[in-house]
Amino acid sequence: MGTLLEVKGLSVSYRRGGVAVRAVDAVDLDVPAGAMLGLVGESGCGKSTLARALMGVLPGNASIDGGRVALDGEDLTELTPAKRRQRLWRELSFVPQTSMNALDPVYRLRDQMREVLCERGGLPTKAADERAVALFRSVGLDPVRLTDFPHQFSGGMRQRAAIAMALALNPKLVIADEPVTALDVIVQRQVLDTIRRLGRDLGLSAIIVTHDISVVTYLCGLTAVMYAGRIVEQGTTEALTRRPTHPYTMGLMNASPDLHEPVETLVPIEGAPPDLADPPKGCRFAPRCPLALAACRESDPPPVVVEPGHSAACFRAAEAGALREAARKASTWTR
Amino acid sequence: MDPLIEAFGLTKAFPVSRTWRQMLRAERPRLKAVDGIDLTIRRGDSIGLVGESGSGKTTVGRLLLKLTSITSGQLTYRGDHLDRMKGARLRGFRQQAQLVFQNPFDALNPRFNIRRIVAEPLVNLGVPRAEHETRTADSLRLVGLAEPQRYLDRLPHQLSGGQLQRIVLARALVVGPEFLVADEPVSMLDVSVRAGILNLMRDLKERLSLTSFTISHDLTLVRYICSRTLVMYLGRIIEQGPTEEIIARPAHPYTKALIAAVPRPDVDQPRDALPISGAIGSAATPPSGCRLRHRCPYAFARCASEEPPLIEVAPGHTAACHLHIA
Ligand SMILES: Nc1ncnc2c1ncn2[C@@H]1O[C@H](COP(=O)(O)OP(=O)(O)OP(=O)(O)O)[C@@H](O)[C@H]1O
Ligand SMILES: Nc1ncnc2c1ncn2[C@@H]1O[C@H](COP(=O)(O)OP(=O)(O)OP(=O)(O)O)[C@@H](O)[C@H]1O
Ligand code: SF4
Ligand SMILES: [Mg+2]
Ligand SMILES: [Mg+2]
């Protein structure tokens, strides 16, 4: 299968009190048709900014500084904003970080579905209502509830409704920003199972933004790890979690608890991601990286292919095997 | 050892809005968020409370801290009835029992600096001013903020999420409590930071010989802090026992679901299908018999007619399910 979404050198900045904050910095990313890609990283690393840039729904103080975003070979960044908006829902759709933002509190779900299906999709009302029923069923919601207002739904139901809406016009790609973060474990699992089934049955292509590696291993065949505005490692989820090559990925794996493993002291990554208004020189993870060398603080490590389809931006990528051993020890991470 | 806290038939009901028909018939529907639970917490215990959203966990936590009134049942702290506690005893209790809020971003006044935020409980308890500075700094050191001077003059938005959660802990610890209720203490934090806070809570529990009660929907987190766990569903405790035993040998279908639902970082772990279906429903209209029965794959006739009592399935481990009664 070919590449559905191809992102090359994409950079996005926010203007904040006279300074530019480069929240997404020269990002390269490919999503093949039919694949789900997990985008993971800590809070403030630029995941939502990247997601919004792909959708073309950045806030007013943000600008795209360069790069291209091609969907099925067509560069979206060259389209006029009006043309770009037309693509929304039909080709690309979005489940935002708080699903309440996706749903308008003063309209019944049916009316919100009609707005997408009739106004954007050009369906007549009757066909739209039929489609809304089918969509609700496909995400495990009772179609009777289409006449409800969003506040009558539980958090999990709202999340499903937001997903149903994103699927309304059979988009080529769905981008979901933290689709399960606010939910309890049971509802979270039900929503993840819904997305998984849609992936299997409809061959849905999606980017799933999350800070939780466990969500990615459950849903996504591919993973990209983001740190301080950059993609620091990407590959199949299998390769990346079995053979993490960037120390940041190793740190994320260490810090993720597994209920079925013996309780050990968890290993945190000390410190916090840098202020993107003034990022450190060299590798942006170096100030927190226990494996950093002097060279890491001098220049940016370029991405290195470590095996087919798996790359990492770390000067020590070639030594990853030995570093993984060291990274597993708690003493490596505590200073 | 003497129990620190004991509850019998502890119940909290909230009024719910009435339909016209109910008003005409003078019905006053009520929602029992906590419905007749028994509980013993001994000094030094670290107890976890798990369950889905809406199961009543936060309400239990608020009852234990006397932040909300009891509708019926009994609740004692060192043998004193909490609902009758007043004056010096109540002030003593307010010092001894502290809450760690769920969301550090909401819990802290954004306009107050960290010094003022952490010292606030000292002010409320009338601790002499002269002691504030040292006690505040000591408390920050206790939660791993080694150089307190670096933080005291900052505002909440100038700290990271993990630092803020440490501030929330420092504020709870500044008065030297013996009992700590933590409601979802790490759910708002990044995994990388969570690990540090969980380790810290474990460590503090030992060092300060705290008695703790930790609320979360995720057993993975509770497990790091709590030696015993209670599982709650629609206002009732449906299983309780040593945490590791509950994880290794869950007896109730609901507990099995909570365990199966937990996401795991390993790519090719066996993925158990979720054993229960549907949603929790409202505590205003709980089902007859076992409250889980509409969602339970094992339900049989008796589950609709009789509510299963908590019975012992292993030493110190009880569950309320008819499958274990037959
Ligand atoms: N509208 C905005 N104006 C200025 N700066 C912003 C704006 N939105 C985000 N930022 C900044 O851009 C950076 C990246 O933010 P972004 O929301 O993309 O991160 P994220 O990875 O999605 O984090 P989270 O996991 O917390 O959602 C942060 O430093 C943030 O403070
Ligand atoms: N002040 C209140 N008035 C009316 N109903 C309430 C009130 N507080 C809680 N409830 C209801 O009591 C039930 C239990 O709520 P509670 O907040 O204790 O659950 P929880 O287990 O903490 O859920 P979560 O995981 O979402 O925090 C819910 O049905 C809730 O709507
Ligand atoms: S009592 Fe019946 S319905 Fe309830 S959990 Fe046990 S088997 Fe299921
Ligand atoms: Mg985000
Ligand atoms: Mg709660």
- Tell me the residues of chain B between 96 and 155 that have a Cβ less than 8 Å away from chain A: none
| Residue B240 near residue B310 (C-beta atoms within 8 A) | yes
- Give the residue whose CA is nearest to atom 2 of ligand 1: A14
Weakest-pLDDT range from A107-121, A206-220, A265-279: A265-279
What is the per-residue pLDDT for A287?
Answer: 95
> DSSP labels for B267-313?
TT---PPPS--S----TTSPPSSSTTTTT-TT--HHHHHSPPPPEEE
Shortest Cα distance, chain A CAs vs residue B204, angstroms? 14
Percent of chain A with pLDDT strictly greater than 70: 98
Which residues of chain A make contact with B276, given a CB cutoff of 8 A?
A: 186
Residues of B in contact with A242 (CB under 8 A): 267
pLDDT of residue B102: 74
Residue B210, pLDDT score: 93
Token output for A78: 């060259």
Q: Residue B209 burial by CB count (10 A; 0-12/13-18/19+): exposed, middle or buried?
A: exposed
Tell me the pLDDT band of A292, cut-offs 50, 70 and 90: very high
pLDDT score at B7 = 98
Picking from B52, B191, B257, the nearest residue to A256 by CB comes out as: B191
DSSP category for residue B219:
H
> Which of B17, B46, B102, B190 should one mutate to test binding to chain A, selecting the residue with the greatest count of A CBs within 10 A?
B190
Residues A184-211: what's their mean pLDDT? Answer: 90
Q: Which of A206-215, A319-328, B8-17, B191-200 has the lowest mean pLDDT?
A: B191-200
Contact by Cβ (8 Å): B92, B169: no
Give the whole-angstrom CA distance, residue B88 versus residue A276.
51
Interatomic CA distance for residues B249 and B243, integer angstroms: 10
Round to whole Å and give the CA distance between B200 and B173. 13
Confidence of residue B63 (pLDDT cuts 50, 70, 90): very high
| For range B53-57, the mean pLDDT | 92
CA–CA dist A261, A263 (Å, integer): 6
Note whether B10 and B37 are within 8 A (CB).
yes
Ligand 1, residues at Cβ distance < 6 Å: A 14, 16, 21, 23, 41, 43-49, 59, 61, 97, 211, 276
DSSP 8-state secondary structure symbol assigned to residue A50? H
Q: Residue B314: beta bridge partners?
A: B317
Q: Looking at residues B11-22, what average pLDDT do you find?
A: 80
3-state secondary structure of B85: coil
| Residues surrounding ion ligand 4 at CB below 5 Å | A 48
Residue from A152, A189, A216, A259 whose CB has the most chain B CBs within 10 Å, to mutate = A259
The pLDDT of A128-137, averaged and rounded, is 92
Q: Is B157 on the interface with A (CB under 8 A)?
A: no
CA B176 to ligand 4 centroid distance, Å: 37
CB B192 to CB A183 under 8 A? no
Phi and psi at residue A226, to the nearest 5°: -110, 135
Q: Give the other-Cβ count within 10 Å of A322's Cβ.
A: 11
CB atoms within 10 A of CB B38: 14
Residues B71-78 have a mean pLDDT of 96
- Contacts (Cβ under 8 Å, ≥6 apart) of A289: A247, A248, A283, A296
Domains of chain A: 3-91+171-333 (3.40.50.300), 99-170 (no CATH)
Helix, strand, or coil (residue B321): coil
C-alpha B137/C-alpha B148 separation (Å) is: 5
* Spatial distance between the Cα atoms of A35 and A15, rounded to a whole number of angstroms: 34
Distance CA B232, CA A213 (A): 27
* Choices 1.20.58.710, 3.40.50.300, 3.30.450.20, 3.30.360.10: CATH for B86-226: 3.40.50.300
Q: Does B270 touch chain A (CB under 8 A)?
A: no
* pLDDT winner (highest mean) among A256-260, B31-35, B271-275: B31-35
Q: How far is CA B95 from CA B92, B123, B191, B206, in A?
A: 5, 11, 31, 20
Can you tell me the distance from the alpha carbon of B297 to that of B321, in angstroms, rounded to the nearest whole number?
Answer: 12
- pLDDT value for A52: 92
pLDDT in tens, B257-267: 999 999 888 88
Relative to beta strand B46-50, strand B211-216 is parallel
Return the pLDDT at A16.
82
* Range of weakest confidence among A86-100, A301-315, B26-40, B168-182: A86-100
For the stretch B153-203, pLDDT in tens is 999 888 877 788 889 999 999 999 999 999 988 887 788 888 888 888 888
Global pTM? Answer: 0.91
Contact B237, B306 (CB under 8 A): no
Query: Comparing C-alpha atoms, which of B301, B285, B293 is closest to residue B320?
Result: B293
Best interface-test mutation with A: which of B225, B267, B274, B277 has the largest number of A CBs within 10 A? B267
Beta strands in chain A (DSSP E): 3-16, 19-32, 36-40, 62-71, 74-75, 92-95, 173-177, 205-210, 222-227, 230-236, 304-307, 310-312
User: What is the average pLDDT value for chain B, to the nearest integer?
Assistant: 91
pLDDT tens digit sequence for A77-127: 888 888 888 888 889 998 887 766 678 888 999 999 999 999 888 999 999
Q: Is pLDDT above 70 for A255?
A: yes
Phi, psi of B269 (to 5 degrees): -70, 155
pLDDT digits (tens, 9 = 90+) for B278-307: 888 888 889 999 999 999 999 999 999 999
Q: What is the pLDDT of residue A100?
A: 60
**CB within 8 Å: B191 and A258:** no
Mean pLDDT, chain A, whole residue set: 91
Cite the beta strand spans of chain B per DSSP E.
Answer: 3-15, 30-42, 46-50, 72-77, 80-81, 97-100, 179-183, 211-216, 228-233, 236-242, 311-314, 317-319
Give residue A101's pLDDT: 67
Residue B300 CA, closest ligand 3 atom number: 2
Nearest CA in chain A to B271: A218
Single-letter amino acid, residue B11: T
Comparing A231-235, B37-41, B76-80, B124-128, the range with the smallest average pLDDT is B124-128
Helix, strand, or coil here: A270?
coil
